[in-house]
Structure 1
């Protein structure tokens, strides 16, 4: 099982590969930019529901 830090790093890598800003990602998942920034700043742990909302946006082909 991956740690929260590994999950955040992976999602952040996918986000960057898709050229999505944190603000754009936040808009797409209907969250505030500051909330998404806290996840990527590793100041809070991902909750499963947040992870399920973020992943599909980051792994589009």
Structure 2
């Protein structure tokens, strides 16, 4: 699941570099870093939640 999230955010960041999306906070090409940081944070939260709720062995 985390790989899918990272691929999604990487694709959106690549699109942002090619042609800015125009979303609030993403008006310029240089704003692609925000998408990369967002993808990292979402992945981090997903990994923490998966580790937290993993059944005990």
TM-score normalised by the chain length of structure 1? 0.32
Which is richer in helix?
A: 2
Higher-Rg member (1/2): 2
Structure number with higher relative contact order (C-alpha < 8 Å, ≥ 6 residues apart) = 1
TM-score normalised by the chain length of structure 2? 0.33
